[in-house]
Amino acid sequence: MGVWMLAFLVLSWIFLHRWNQRNHKGPKTWPLIGAALEQLVNYDRMHDWLVGYLSESKTVVVPMPFTTYTYIADPANVEHVLKTNFSNYPKGEVYHSYMEVLLGDGIFNVDGELWRKQRKTASFEFASKNLRDFSTVVFREYSLKLSDILTQASFHKQEVDMQELLMRMTLDSICKVGFGVEIGTLAPNLPENHFACAFDTANVIVTLRFIDPLWKIKKFLNVGSEALLSQSIKIIDDFTYSVIRRRKSEIEETQRNCYTGSIKHDILSRFIELGEDPDRNATEKSLRDIVLNFVIAGRDTTATTLSWAIYLIMTHSNVAEKLYSELKSFEEDRAREEKVSLVTYETGNIEAFSQRTAQFAELLTYDSLGRLYYLHAVVTETLRLYPAVPQDPKGILEDDILPDGTKVKAGGMVTYVPYSMGRMEYNWGPDAASFKPERWLSDGFFQNASPFKFTAFQAGPRICLGKDSAYLQMKMALAILCRFYEFSLVAGHPVKYRMMTILSMANGLKLTVSPRPS
């Protein structure tokens, strides 16, 4: 009798809970587990799952077993969280605990004074003309290395995984610009890179922690995904510490020889030199955290955005032709300005084709790229629909009320959702779901939108320091690729995102490549 009574009480409790939720705008919730069941079922398509709810309500509350997530897509709410009441919405202890194994106490995973010190130093470096000029040279160099690989693939009718190639290009680039080292993953033979594989694995697993209530138990027992995470972190740390020690050794040797001419101006060197100040107490662990934060900022985000951009360009022929026309006209105009005689080539002449590609690349400078407004619009429109960071959670320090009247409680999480925001008609109009670079142009010139509406680079005090650098690399690469190649998706290849902190493609981007005529 007691068992039946207990069962009746439990069922009654569940019924009353569901009855009270009948007018709730959001996912189905259950006692104790909240919306965890529905979220788990939709995990592989979570971003589109959120689009469905946020299209009906600008704010969606999702209770979970140990916290409550409030998802927001209204620019007014986003501005409140990212700027107006910034101090009340830090990364928070929950987010830090999930990501600490990978990002440690780096700039993307900390708050307060530690964050301010790192941001101040990084801000100084990104504003440096030396770094900007060096970045331009490096981005051009690695874009041409990628071009050489594509040229060989096109002439030999080989398929390529463009996302993998772009990941290699951006990893090589960030290690050269950020840390002053060559790692050579974009070599013609495409050597296997254990660091890159381990970094991807770790990224996927720490993302899964956000909906896996058992991750701490698995970590304690060192089983399942957490055991794989430990193995991946070991590979990541071995690589990262070797980079740090190599740079330290180079700096010490330079200082011993009293030769200032060879001092590098990369970001890691700057932090190493600042770490010599006893008050800063920089350790190899803190430098490791800085390195990994800049790797995830400079590698994954740029490569995934370029992957989505190429996919969108090749599936929208009108955009591809407009972009090609802009690049061809740009090439002719710049060649006249520089008094350059452009190499002509037949599509079967690899040597002449490569010479012409290199000529074009030399015409791409920081200033001249700024004249390519349609290219800038294509990149920006890609980021609107496929933001590199599709959602970004913040902690809540104190109870607050958002501008739309939603009450949020201390200890919960507020997440603004760039992926959903770019698809909301109440933000972008009835054609919000369409890929339309022209929406960013007025009389042929690029027009910005509010960073609280276009949130791909965040906004407020934490707005992305590397925004200009990211645009520089993406435009450099796309200008070369879209001027000299046409891409076609391999028949039957599925294109969808993978659930991780960065919006990468789950199956890569398998393409065939054809050279464009002179």
Residue positions forming the annotated binding site: 464
Q: Encoding tokens for residue 223?
A: 């089983």
Q: Which residues make up each annotated binding site for heme?
A: 464
Is-contact 394 414, C-beta < 8 A?
yes
Residue 394's closest CA among 117, 106, 116, 87? 87
Is-contact 397 85, C-beta < 8 A?
no
Is-contact 468 482, C-beta < 8 A?
no
Strand (E) positions, 365-471? 392-395, 400-401, 407-408, 413-416, 441-442, 445-446
Is-contact 72 372, C-beta < 8 A?
no
- The secondary structure of 191-215 as a DSSP string is ---HHHHHHHHHHHHHHHTTT-TTH
**At 120, is the secondary structure helix, strand, or coil?**
helix
Is-contact 61 68, C-beta < 8 A?
yes
- Residue 160 CA to chain centroid, in angstroms? 22
Instruction: Identify the DSSP state of 516.
Output: P
Total Cβ atoms within 10 A of residue 93? 12
Q: Encoding tokens for residue 17?
A: 């809970």
Torsion of Cα atoms, 91 then 48 then 216 then 295, to 10° = -60
Residue 289's closest CA among 504, 463, 122? 122
DSSP H helices in 111-181: 112-126, 129-155, 162-179
Q: Rounded to whole angstroms, how far apart are CA atoms 359 and 375?
A: 19
Residue in the structure block whose two tokens are 């060192």: 222
Q: Rounded to whole angstroms, how far apart are CA atoms 518 and 513?
A: 16
**At 221, is the secondary structure helix, strand, or coil?**
helix
Q: Burial level of 295, CB count in 10 A (0-12/13-18/19+)?
A: buried
With a CB cutoff of 8 Å and minimum separation 6, the contacts of 323 are 313, 374, 375, 378, 478, 482
Cα 181 to Cα 44, 89, 484, distances in angstroms: 36, 36, 29
∠ CA 312-314-318, nearest 5°, is 90
Q: Encoding tokens for residue 212?
A: 């896996």
